[in-house]
């Protein structure tokens, strides 16, 4: 047993989701406490989680941090566990990840009904019932898929440095608007960084007005590629509209970045969309899918990953060829450095993933299942997918 916990998350972090419940951080992929935050604080779940942090080996539920720390050679490599290290374990809550509901206008391939109302509707239409992994019983014994998260307004946020708001899609959920109003109309607006993750489908004046009231705002555009790959991975996306909105976000707000989900769909054909997306000159970082396994990078055969690594290395060389950084203005130099850093991180991500044939089998099964339901075909995107799916 360790003398100190390997992660401070259960003491100073909280992820609160209406369709899932509470857990110490959004990266945790193990069991979740299905109930309100009020009950969570008194639960054996939280007590046991704190004890778990003293184990000699990191729990498999910490997969995302473990994976991120394995690719530490990337310039902008990062893990939530390391981020928490700078805070006092007894200093109170420092980070809140809040997801008010699953209302969404997309049904992304790596998502599920708990985070997308369109996924939920699709499950019901296809199966006659919602087979979504929603928890089926509330703490009081009543049946129901969601939790009343209204006690989020009772949480002491005085020590919080960061609130992360996701969905669903926050820009179309009035519960999110109400929570933003609550924070921005209080003294909390002066001391908390608020990070909004949006799929960039909405750039309306009303939504932008809400965002403009936040004093310390970071916008993460959850966009996963350009063109047909983006629209396929994020069903309901319209790339032409998304691209236009991304530019509007970039030109309106000071801190905007792309939060790209690296999957078995977009990374095998990274060379087809990379330039168009990065040429928007928005800093890009990556979130690696570990679950569902059908979307994991481990489903990509080694040769396809090696091809993309080689392409990225050549891209970095081409971008740097003949460049004299000292002669660039600050903005141009920063943009180029961001692009080179993104490529380096993508290489590290591909290098850290390891091909597993049973993951590829799940990728094939789930991809063809959804294609049949949605009247789509991954084979229309790129011939490499037919090779990848049918490879023996």
Residue in 5, 21, 260 with CA at minimum distance from that of residue 133: 21
CA gap 23, 127 in Å, rounded: 29
d(CA 166, CA 200): 12
How many angstroms separate the CA atoms of 2 and 346, rounded?
A: 33
User: What is the model's pLDDT at position 328?
Assistant: 76
Question: pLDDT grade, residue 244 (50/70/90)?
Answer: very high
| Average pLDDT along the chain | 91
pLDDT digits (tens, 9 = 90+) for 348-384: 999 999 999 999 999 999 999 999 999 999 999 999 9
- Which of the four pLDDT bands, split at 50, 70 and 90, describes residue 130? low
> The pTM is what?
0.89
Find tokens 């209204």 and name the residue.
Answer: 150
Strands in 160-283 per DSSP E? 162-166, 193-198, 217-221, 234-235, 256-262
Residue 52 placed within a domain: yes
How many domains is the chain partitioned into structurally?
A: 1
Strands 256-262 and 217-221, by their bridges, are parallel
Rounded CA-CA distance 386/19 in Å is 36
Question: 301 in a domain, yes or no?
Answer: no
* 256 φ/ψ angles, rounded to the nearest 5 degrees: -130, 135
Residue 4 forms part of a structural domain:
yes
Residues 59-115 have pLDDT tens digits of: 999 988 887 787 655 555 678 999 999 999 999 999 999 999 999 999 999 999 989
CA distance 189 to 196: 14
Q: What is the average pLDDT across 156-170?
A: 95
Does a structural domain hold residue 32?
yes
pLDDT band at 165 (very low <50, low <70, confident <90, very high): very high
DSSP 33: B
Kindly report the three-state secondary structure assignment for every residue of 117-154. HHHHHHHHHHHCCCCCCCCCCCCCCCCCCCCCCHHHHH
Give me the residue label for tokens 């509707």.
121
What is the mean predicted confidence (pLDDT) over 260-289?
97
Look-up of token digits 């020590």: 159
Residue 300 placed within a domain: no
Domain that holds residue 32: 1-98
pLDDT in the model for residue 140? 39
Is 249 part of a structural domain of the chain?
no
Whether the CA torsion 64, 69, 73, 74 is positive or negative: it is: positive
In a domain, 252, yes or no: no
Show contacts of 29-34: CB within 8 Å, 24+ apart.
29/60, 29/61, 29/62, 29/63, 29/64, 29/290, 29/291, 30/59, 30/60, 30/61, 31/61, 34/135, 34/137, 34/138, 34/139, 34/147
Cis ω for the linkage preceding 292 (within 30 of 0): yes
The answer to whether position 199 is within a domain reads no
Return the H-helix or E-strand segment holding 287: strand 284-288
Give the least confident one: 137-151, 177-191, 223-237. 137-151
Over residues 325-335, mean pLDDT:
83
DSSP 151-174: GGGGS--TT--EEEEESS-GGG-H
């Amino acid at each position: 047993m360790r003398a100190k916990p390997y992660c401070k998350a259960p003491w100073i972090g909280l992820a609160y989701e209406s369709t899932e419940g509470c857990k110490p951080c959004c990266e945790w992929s193990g069991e979740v406490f299905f109930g309100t935050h009020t009950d969570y604080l008194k639960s054996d779940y939280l007590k046991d989680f704190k004890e778990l942090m003293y184990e000699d080996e990191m729990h498999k539920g910490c997969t995302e941090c473990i994976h991120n720390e394995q690719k530490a050679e990337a310039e902008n490599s990062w893990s939530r566990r390391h981020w928490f290290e700078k805070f006092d374990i007894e200093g109170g809550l420092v980070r809140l990840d809040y997801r008010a509901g699953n209302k969404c206008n997309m049904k992304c391939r790596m998502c599920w009904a708990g985070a997308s109302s369109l996924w939920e509707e699709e499950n019901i239409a296809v199966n006659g019932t919602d087979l979504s992994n929603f928890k089926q019983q509330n703490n009081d014994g009543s049946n129901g898929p969601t939790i009343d998260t209204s006690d989020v307004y009772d949480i002491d946020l005085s020590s919080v440095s960061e609130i992360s708001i996701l969905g669903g899609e926050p820009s179309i959920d009035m519960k999110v608007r109400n929570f933003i109003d609550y924070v921005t109309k209080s003294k909390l607006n002066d001391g908390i960084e608020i990070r909004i993750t949006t799929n960039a489908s909405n750039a309306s004046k009303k939504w932008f007005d809400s965002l403009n009231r936040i004093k310390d705002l970071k916008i993460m555009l959850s966009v996963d590629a350009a063109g047909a790959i983006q629209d396929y991975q994020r069903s309901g996306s319209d790339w032409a509209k998304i691209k236009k909105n991304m530019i509007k976000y970039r030109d309106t707000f000071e801190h905007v970045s792309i939060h790209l989900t690296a999957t078995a769909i977009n990374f095998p054909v990274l060379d087809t969309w990379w330039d168009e997306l990065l040429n928007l000159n928005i800093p890009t970082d990556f979130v690696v899918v570990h679950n569902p396994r059908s979307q994991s990078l481990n489903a990509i055969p080694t040769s396809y990953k090696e091809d993309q690594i080689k392409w990225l290395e050549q891209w970095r060389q081409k971008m740097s060829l003949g460049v004299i950084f000292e002669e660039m203005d600050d903005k141009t130099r920063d943009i180029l450095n961001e692009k080179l850093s993104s490529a380096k991180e993508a290489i590290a991500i591909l290098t850290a993933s390891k091909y597993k044939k049973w993951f590829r089998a799940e990728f094939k099964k789930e991809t063809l299942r959804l294609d049949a339901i949605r009247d789509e075909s991954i084979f229309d995107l790129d011939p490499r997918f037919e090779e990848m799916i049918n490879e023996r």
